[in-house]
Amino acid sequence: TPETHNDRLFSYSNDHSTPLPPKFDHLHAHSLQVYPTTAGKTVSALQGQFQQMLMRLTKPKSVLELGTFMGYSAMAMADGMPKGGVIYTCEKDPKAARLSRELFEEHAYSPSTTGKEVKRKDATIEVVEGDGMASLAVLAKRNLRFDAVFLDADKGNYVNYYNFILDNDMLTDEGYILADNVLFSGLVLNSEQRKRDAAAASASSSSSSASSSTTTAFSKGKGKKGKNGEAWGGDTFQKFADHIDTFNKHVRSDPRVDVVLLPAFDGLSLIMKKRQ
Amino acid sequence: TPETHNDRLFSYSNDHSTPLPPKFDHLHAHSLQVYPTTAGKTVSALQGQFQQMLMRLTKPKSVLELGTFMGYSAMAMADGMPKGGVIYTCEKDPKAARLSRELFEEHAYSPSTTGKEVKRKDATIEVVEGDGMASLAVLAKRNLRFDAVFLDADKGNYVNYYNFILDNDMLTDEGYILADNVLFSGLVLNSEQRKRDAAAASASSSSSSASSSTTTAFSKGKGKKGKNGEAWGGDTFQKFADHIDTFNKHVRSDPRVDVVLLPAFDGLSLIMKKRQ
Ligand SMILES: C[S@@+](CC[C@H](N)C(=O)[O-])C[C@H]1O[C@@H](n2cnc3c(N)ncnc32)[C@H](O)[C@@H]1O
Ligand SMILES: C[S@@+](CC[C@H](N)C(=O)[O-])C[C@H]1O[C@@H](n2cnc3c(N)ncnc32)[C@H](O)[C@@H]1O
């Protein structure tokens, strides 16, 4: 596939940014070995660098992550956190939970159970294994609150995660939520069109007013693979985008928060409580 | 001109973000009246929203801006700053300096000289009129240091502003610099190519090895206008991009700092001092 203008701007941006240390490249390579078809789920190196800088800029003491995968984003964030910081990261896949836990031990983000001596990092990472909603309930019972939340698990549950966190007062007053993939490869544009089409079709009983949805370069079913290796046809993929579009509209109309949808990477929303 | 995919993603992002209050739209409209050909120099509404949220996330007490223009970005940032915060903003154009000063008074970002009573904002804005480098020298003499710096004045001086600020210890230890337009409509890609071509041409005395520079949609001299209304041909415009490319390489290779070039808007670099 030929490199697009956006690809070249991304490479340029990457080349003019301070790289993360080599262990992060190794982790990307390792993920590709363990999950050959789905390793791309991890954030890019440049996004990891951005999230690390965001940590340095905002100094959260307590961070929640939904979606650990192999621990790349967690480690990138941890290295930017202040001394004594903790990341709680939730993962449903038992294999990913186990492997990331091992990596966090090996790289000294958690107390060693192997007796191997390593200099402890400033921040600690705790993996919470299980379904994200169940894990949130457990964390709420422990009365934990978070200065920063990174939403990066199953897209269909973004609204549920978001509501649970706000309804249960798990976000500190000056805390923020960062939600990943909120442009979903551009497919959210199709979601809007589909919703307009559906509304038009139900308004007029003559179905001729329903136009076909916008086709983007991304919507042509490039044969992306899902977590368990199942092929993501255009339609499965589009359904995730529809969930994301619903999430974006939900947040935008929620009177409790302010949101900025940053058109960078695959779309990153920054969400904070409105000021009193 | 037809809307590109990027344009549509930008609109979508804008539509799903909390807008700034109406006075900001009025200011955009007002700028267009006063500077019909150059009003586009101001940051977009969405970027203003992002910068305001960045202020809320990082809580700088003292901010430096290079390039006030009509005060849009300064006001957007000020509204996100903590109580007692101050923005020092430098502007060379006497008309822009006067008009922005009037606007800051009118909107209560500075003490009123007209006696009109308005509720004072949390943060104050002070306009420093004159050439940016001269203004930096004045601010250094006043022993001012900054928790955040927004670089948005003449692109040819970015390296000078940056060096002066770091060399004179004007950035606090955990402070950051945000540099705007570091992708310069994508033209930095041409700059790299031109530099490679020049190197190749001087390496081999046969000039046949010099390929023509990459042509992007942006480099075709769309007739952009400079500050004083002069037409910016492709080449004038490209020279600014070359300066920006030099800046990006200078920062990336400066051992004092870490940098993340965020591929959003026209390119935004986040720069912090390396941790000890
Ligand atoms: C996009 S990946 C996370 C990537 C990771 N944040 C990184 O950048 O390195 C999403 C992860 O969420 C996990 N996940 C999917 N559904 C989940 C659920 N219901 N609860 C918790 N985790 C889930 C997947 O197993 C996958 O590892
Ligand atoms: C891109 S505009 C700033 C826009 C503003 N930050 C905003 O977003 O609303 C750049 C401004 O820098 C000013 N400028 C240009 N050269 C300058 C110099 N040498 N010193 C100070 N200001 C300069 C221009 O007059 C112009 O108003």
Q: Is A59 left (phi over 0), alpha (psi -120 to 50) or beta?
A: left
d(CA A41, ligand 1 centre) in Å: 8
Same domain, B39 and B171: yes
Residue B206 lies in a domain: yes
Distance CA B124, CA B132 (A): 20
Quick check: is B257 in a domain?
no
Same domain (yes/no): B170, B209: no
Give the model's confidence band at A185: pLDDT under 50 very low, under 70 low, under 90 confident, else very high.
very high
Task: Looking at the structure, tell me whether residues A150 and A91 fall in a common domain.
Answer: yes
Number of domains in chain B: 2
Q: How far is the CA of A275 from the centre of ligand 1 (A)?
A: 31
Residue B93 and residue B196 share a domain: no
pLDDT, one tens digit per residue, over B184-229 is: 999 999 998 888 888 888 887 554 444 444 434 333 333 444 444 4
Q: What is the pLDDT of residue B111?
A: 72
Q: Among the bound ligands, name the one nearest to the CA of residue B153.
A: 2
Nearest by CB: A272 against B14, B56, B192: B56
Q: What confidence tens digit (pLDDT) does each residue in B148-192 have?
A: 999 999 999 999 999 999 999 999 999 999 999 999 999 999 998
Q: Where does the pLDDT of residue A102 fall: very low under 50, low under 70, confident under 90, or very high at 90 and above?
A: very high
How far is Cα B79 from Cα A195, in angstroms, rounded to an integer?
36
For B272, the closest chain A residue by CA position comes to A53
Chain A residues close to B182, C-beta within 8 Å: 16
Cβ distance B251 to B257 under 8 Å? Answer: yes
Q: Could you tell me which residues come within 8 angstroms of residue A164 by beta carbon, excluding any fewer than 6 positions away?
A: A133, A136, A137, A140, A170
Domain that holds residue A163: 5-180
Residue from A50, A98, A49 nearest A71 by CA: A98
Return d(Cα A62, Cα B39) in angstroms, integer.
Answer: 42
ipTM for the whole complex: 0.91
Q: Which of A131, A159, A180 is the last residue of a domain?
A: A180
Poorest-pLDDT segment among A190-199, A264-273, B144-153, B229-238 = B229-238
Q: Is A93 in the pocket of ligand 1 (CB under 6 A)?
A: yes
* B24-46 residues labelled b (16+ CB within 10 A) or e (exposed): beebbebbeeebeebbebbbebb
Q: Among the three residues B135, B152, B180, which one is the final residue of a domain in this structure? A: B180
Give B230's pLDDT tier (boundaries 50, 70, 90). Answer: very low
Averaged pLDDT, A191-207: 80
Q: What pLDDT, on a 0 to 100 scale, did the predictor assign at position A206? A: 53
Ligand 1 center from residue A264 Cα (angstroms): 20
**Among all residues of chain B, which has the CA nearest to that of A12?**
B189
Please check whether residues A154 and A122 belong to one and the same domain. Answer: yes
Q: Amino acid identity of A138?
A: V
Spell A2-21 as b/e; 16+ CB within 10 A means b.
eeeeeebbbebbbebbbebe
Give Cβ neighbours of residue B162 (< 8 Å, ≥ 6 apart).
B151, B177, B179, B247, B250, B251, B271
Residue A261: inside a domain: no
If you write DSSP's letter for every residue of A171-238 in order, what string do you get?
A: EEEEEEEEEE-TTGGGTHHHHHHHHHHHHHHHHSSSGGG-PPPPP-TTSS---EE-TTS-EE-HHHHH
Instruction: Quote the minimal CA–CA distance from B90 to chain A in Å.
Output: 24
Residue of chain A minimizing CA distance to B82: A275
Give the up-direction half-sphere exposure of residue A45: CA atoms within 13 A in the CB hemisphere.
19
Please tell me whether residues B13 and B89 are part of one structural domain: yes
Task: For residues B107 and B166, state if they share a domain.
Answer: yes
Contact A189 B8 (CB under 8 A): yes
One domain, residues A83 and A142: yes
> What's the pLDDT tens digit per position in B11-65?
999 999 999 999 999 999 999 999 999 888 999 999 999 999 999 999 999 999 9
The average confidence (pLDDT) of chain B is 89
A123 vs A82: CA distance, rounded Å: 7
Q: In this structure, are A140 and A201 located in the same domain?
A: no
Tens-place pLDDT, residues B117-131? 556 778 999 999 999
Residue A253 inside a domain? The answer is no
Q: Based on the domain organization, do A203 and A102 belong to the same domain?
A: no
Strand A146-151 with A62-66, pairing: parallel
Asked if residue A159 and residue A73 are part of one domain, the reply reads: yes
Query: Does residue A85 belong to any structural domain of this protein?
Result: yes
CB atoms within 10 A of CB A51: 21
Category of A109 on φ-ψ map: left (φ > 0), alpha (ψ -120 to 50) or beta: alpha
Residue A270 located in a structural domain: no
Is residue B193 domain-resident?
yes
How far is Cα B95 from Cα B103, in angstroms, rounded to an integer?
12
Q: Which of A130, A147, A180 is the last residue of a domain?
A: A180
Domain annotation covers residue A60: yes
CATH of residue A161: 3.40.50.150
Residues B202 and B89 in one domain: no
